[in-house]
Structures are given as C-alpha cells and as structure tokens.
Copies of this chain bind each other. A is one copy, B any other.
Amino acid sequence: MNNTTLKKISEILGLSISTISRALKDHPDISAKTKQRVVELATTLDYEPNANAINLRTSNSKLFGLIVPSISNWFYNAFIASVEEDSRRNGYSLMILQSGDDPSIEINNLKLCRQNRITGLFVCISPETTNIEPFLKLKEMDIPVIFFDKVPDDARCNKVCVADALSATMAANELISKKKKKIAGLFGNPHLLITQKRLEAFRKTIHEKSGAAQLIIDYAPSTEDAESKTIELLKEKPDAIFCMSDEILIGVMKAIQRKGLSIPKDLGVITISNGAAPKLYFPEITYVETSGHKLGKMAYSSMMACLGGSTFIQDLTIESILVEGGSL
C-alpha cells in the first residue's frame, strides 16, 4: 500500500541504503550481481524515487515554471505545447500557471514557483504588470527567467518575441502590392507595447510605400469589440482590412459574414496569426505567421543557454513569414 523506499529495499536485501542507491544508478562501485538483485526487487516493488527527497538533497528540481495570462489561447497554447514537449524530452517537468492578466495572481504564481524551487521560469507578463523586480530577484538567485511574447521594456531581461513591427510591415507591403487603396486596420489594446509598435510600423509602411492609400485605424481589445468595430468600419467601404491578431480576425470575419460580403471580391483581409484561425475559413485568410510553436522552441533553447552558464542577455525575435491564402 505504502511507498517503497531505498530503506525498505535495503532492509529486505540486507544491504545498506547507500548500496541500493548506487546499484540503482549503475554506480561502478557496485558488483553486477548485487546490482541485479537490487534492480529486480526494485521493479517488483514498483520503486519510484521520491523527487522531493532528491530535490532537497541535490537542490536541482528539474522543474520549470511557466506563467501565462491564459492557456486558452491559440498562440500561448502552441507555445506551451512546444515547451512542454522539449522539457519532457530532456527530463524536465513543467508547472503551468495562469495569471488571468491579474498582477496579484501573477505574484502568487511566482511565489509558488519559488517555493517549488524551479530551475527556470518562462513568463509572459500581464499588461498591467509594472513592477518586474520580483522577476529580477529570481535572476539574482541564478534562476534564469525567459520572458516571452509580452515582455518588459528592461535591458536586464532575457526576451524572446515574435517580430512585432516587422510582421506588421510585411502585411502592409502585401496590401500595397495588391494595390489596396482604402485600408482599415484593426488593432488590439492600445496600451500594449506590441500594439503601438505594430501600428507605427504599419502606418509608416503604408505611407512610405503608397502615399495615395487611405488608412482607417481603430482598436478592439476583444473579439466582440472587433465585430462591432468592423460593422462601423465597413460603412466606409474599405477595400481591405488588416487584423492585428487572431482574436480580431475572428470578430472581423463574423462582421463580414453578417454583412454578407464575400472575400476577396468585396474586400480583402489579412492578419497576423499563429496559423490556426486563418485556416478556419474559405478562402483561407492570408496571414503573416507568428508561430507560438517556434517561439516555444526558441524560448526553450534560450533557457538551456542560460542554464549552460551563458550570462549573455538575449533579446531574440523569430522571423515571420507570409502565408498566402486567397483573401487578398
């Protein structure tokens, strides 16, 4: 019924605890026969080492923390799945915490991570998070912190991001090459750095490359907002709509369907996306890919670099690619 321990095995076999411990990890000091006896008994008793005891003794938890606003999000989802996979493959476990965009929960999650003596942290901070000292404190304790996606504007942080400005530029270029003249752009929360960067880059590109093109900008923090804002925007008869994210795209598409417009005949649509949402529709929506999966890979390898002793502060960005659908 209870758990079997090294001690229990040692008592049954008449050996010392240390011998059992060494036998189980194939230590050269132990003879082959002894090893076999030990391993056999261990498997029949379903021995599993107590991770808590090991962590306590070795102070190496093989545990990563991952704090994210919400796991119910296409982009973060892909990110998490990717990190989980890499972690598991390399013998690390993952502790996933949602902050719900609430800084106080975020702090609480951080506390949990510290209590569990994580060996590293992946974190996407909430928009309201202003004080990143608690995170920097981790760094001081030699616990690497990799900020991803929404990152603080602080040079002391390791960051991995999607190309915020560049992806908007790419989308703008594509719109121009398709000769769009009256372009509506729907952006997310205007207080977020990513929104500002994308908007600036988008506006700049459109103006530089095509002085003639007219631009209508609006903001929509949620899918519902995006839908209602689009209804308004459509009155201006734009010939293309740019969406800053999947959430916005979905609202836009709903509005377009509601109005009975057809793509790309009545107007074009382009978005920045993780890749799933544009494929929900026919024709598939042309998008600039910002892959959560790729970002996860990059975050993981960045983490590994830190654990490997690199003190070099990394500020990485994954490249974007344009995926053509039939929506322009």
Contacts and interface: CB of A to CB of B under 8 A. Distances in A.
Interface of A: 1-3, 46, 48-53, 55-56, 61, 70-72, 77-78, 80-81, 84-85, 88, 93-98, 105, 108-109, 111-112, 114-117, 137, 140-142, 250, 253-255, 257-258, 280-282
B282 A258 contact: yes
Task: State the oligomeric state as a number of copies.
Answer: 2
A280 B282 contact: no
Contacts of A254: 280-282
Contact of A117 (B51, B96, B111, B116): B51
A98 B70 contact: no
A1 B142 contact: yes
28 contacts: A1-B142, A2-B141, A3-B117, A48-B111, A48-B114, A49-B115, A50-B56, A51-B116, A52-B53, A52-B55, A52-B117, A70-B81, A71-B71, A71-B77, A71-B80, A71-B84, A72-B78, A72-B81, A77-B77, A84-B98, A85-B98, A93-B112, A254-B280, A254-B281, A254-B282, A255-B282, A257-B282, A258-B282
Contacts of A112: 93
Contacts of A61: 52
Given A1-B140, A56-B53, A93 B95 contact: yes
5 closest A-B pairs by CB: A257-B282, A258-B282, A52-B55, A51-B115, A48-B114
A61 B53 CA distance: 12
A96 B61 CA distance: 16
Contacts of A56: 50, 52-53, 56
B250 A46 contact: no
Contacts of A137: 46
A97 B255 CA distance: 38
A70 B111 CA distance: 27
Contacts of A50: 56, 115, 117
Given A51-B52, A84-B96, A93-B95, 5 more contacts: A71-B81, A88-B97, A95-B95, A254-B281, A254-B282
Contacts of A49: 115
A117 B52 CA distance: 8
A80 B77 CA distance: 12
Contacts of A48: 111, 114-115
A209 B78 CA distance: 44
A117 B56 CA distance: 14
Nearest to A142: B1
A48 B109 CA distance: 13
Contact of A96 (B2, B94, B140, B250): B94
Nearest to A250: B280
A94 B93 contact: no
A55 B61 CA distance: 13
